Structure 1
Amino acid sequence: MIDIHCHLLNHLDDGAQSLEESIAMAQQAVRNGFTDIIATPHHLKGSYLNDGDTVVEAVAAFNKELTQQQIPLIVHPGQEIALTPNLLQGLKNGGHISLAKSRYVLIEFPSAHIPLYTEELFRELKEQQLIPVIAHPERNQQLMLNKERLHRLLQMGALLQITWNSLMGQFGKRIKHNAEVLLAQNIVHFVATDAHDPKKRSLDIAKAQQVFTKKTTATQRDMIIANSQLLLDNAAVVSGDFKSIKPKRFLFF
């Protein structure tokens, strides 16, 4: 399997805090069936400033360490980029980087709202043949409340990535429910770990996989899992057919 969103590079953000912790996360990833991980340290979130060159260098050094320790995992460079009006400019000058040198860009929205400039920015990305991947939409209050706007972003080509631990209820019942609603609508393109450490926010996804299996069809599961490989290959990912569900199934804030 491929994990497209993970904070296993040490000393860059609120993820791994030591090389030993990074190695523990890598070993945990292998035990859970991952062959490749895209490292996505926070960029432009609070005090975290991890420009493209910094991430690429850190990934190269960590892959060398994995080889020396004979851990069968490949790490690729990426960022979880905070949504700002200058996002496209950052991608052009190299300060921002896409996921594994692909056309796909992992974007983190503010937790409580959708910036007014979002649609215009997404149009600009599309003009440059870049595709926004919205990280953990189930945790954004306004994206879940304003489903018409969410669907408009999807129609513009945006993709959605929910988190394995959301399905386990690690972030609370509300967010678990929101993730399940997105799956029920068949508008989830990726599930990723968003792992930050080997214990509390880890790559141990066995229990979450059980929930995932219960809440999806075999066809849907195959599509979502395959999409991570397609992203890594810089190929076109697959979207399912939208399924409308009764409003009462939404958990409002």
Structure 2
Amino acid sequence: MLTGNGLSEYARVHLGTPYFYGAKISEGVLTEKKMSTMHRMYPKVVTTSYMAKARRKGQVGKVNVDCSGLIAGYRQLNIGSYQLYQTAYTRMPIAKINDFAVGTVLWKSGHVGVYIGKVNGVPMCIEAKGINYGTVLTKVSSTKWVYGLTFKDMTYSYETKVPGTWKGTNPYTEPTMTVTSAAQAKKKKIKVYLAKGDGVKWVQWELMEAGLLTEADIDGICGPKTVAAILAYQKSCKITADGLAGQTTRKYLAAVS
């Protein structure tokens, strides 16, 4: 049985684990092949200097992890930070941190950590913070967290039940073709796509659930803002970031609906 306490202990065990973008504990040690793959997919993040730094720090040949990978290692569910927000059963405001259960996932756009409770009265968390830090113990107040997330597949020990918002059910029908804007379709040289209608709303609704759009953005028109949200979601999932909500991207969106 998965528990908040179990996630907290798992995070503690992995304190000191090096950080590399896209790395997961289940993948084993970091290899040159893995680095090259992430460089090819995300050249602006995993730059040649970024890879050189990993080599200098002796990270190649060791198990590495990124922020969402720390949670994925315990839950055995490899999803990114936006998917974690998307699938959360409750999303509790960080202002209620004193009432959070141990093992609550702390969330801000593009980053997650694990709340481990108070140390000497101070709320603390463990986060895979970046290549310069690795997996470290930090004060919750040191990062501008926005929400605490809990999940249906886990149980938590609360002193006080914290109010939050719950994930809803997508009221729109999933499209069967690629959703993108006319401009992005032209840029990527695809001729068959969907830029308007309920299929676009389905994608927009899931992107709203992922914290990338607002309810006001669900207008059934795939414009620059929706494309930017698709790109951010794809990057979080570590899949090809092309701004096209094709079969693979929709699979990721639907998998946590």
State the TM-score, normalized to the length of structure 2. 0.29
